[in-house]
Amino acid sequence: ATKPTLGYWKIRGLASGIRYQLAYSNVPYDEEVYEQGDGPEFSRAAWYDVKHDQGLTYPNLPYLRDGSFSLTESGAIQRYCAKKWCPTLLCDDDMETYGKAEMAWGVVLDIKGFVATQCYVGDGDKKKLADAAIPRFGLIAKELSENKFMIGDRICCADFAFVELVEVMDFISDGEIFKVYPSLKAYRDRVFELPRLKECLEDEKRLAFNNKVAKIGNM
């Protein structure tokens, strides 16, 4: 069987959570990488020039190709990969666990949307963004002071997206988030102790969090 292919910008961004999950699931894959041009233009031509030639229903980055099937949207990609290669991550063996896993996904997306947007459209003041973002982690931090992972003792798709968001916040806040919420530090360490994830994180650290045009996390 051919390996799946993950297409994305040459950054961590929305792909890190997918890469962590594929590493955890022990799925080898290829990558197609698109690099944004340098300033002041910050050209997206590397992707835009080929965007509509990829056979994607809703062309976007990241995308996943698996044989003759392709899909976009990072959440859909993570769930598809879970369903195919590591079904326990869907937590759908009973309704309550499934509901919690889906709820966790929504909570992560809300916070991630706020933080990522401010990295691109804000004024580039890391301290100001940290002060605005840190309180948004309070409820999850409380849950994680009592649970190993977001929904309890077992890991779900949302954990791979959330642990990268914690990484982003550690960077933005210069470690302050771990002083405010020690449970997030313990959680981060716990996730990266899982098989193959430490090596995956080392690979991610070679990349910037955000694209070159961002005000924060662009190098």
Which residues partner with 65 through β-bridges? 5, 70
Of the candidates 75, 72, 68, 81, the residue with the CA atom closest to the CA atom of residue 28: 81
pTM for the model: 0.97
pLDDT score for 1: 67
Of the candidates 10, 11, 7, 22, the residue with the CA atom closest to the CA atom of residue 196: 22
Question: What are the 10-residue block averages of pLDDT along the chain, 219 residues in total?
Answer: 94 98 98 96 97 97 97 98 98 96 97 97 95 98 98 97 98 98 98 97 97 94
pLDDT score for 73: 98
Contact 30, 5 (CB under 8 A): yes
Report the distance separating Cα 106 and Cα 218, nearest Å: 26
How far CA 84 is from CA of 23, 26, 134, in Å, comes to 14, 12, 35
How far CA 71 is from CA of 3, 15, 31, in Å, comes to 15, 14, 14
pLDDT score for 219: 83
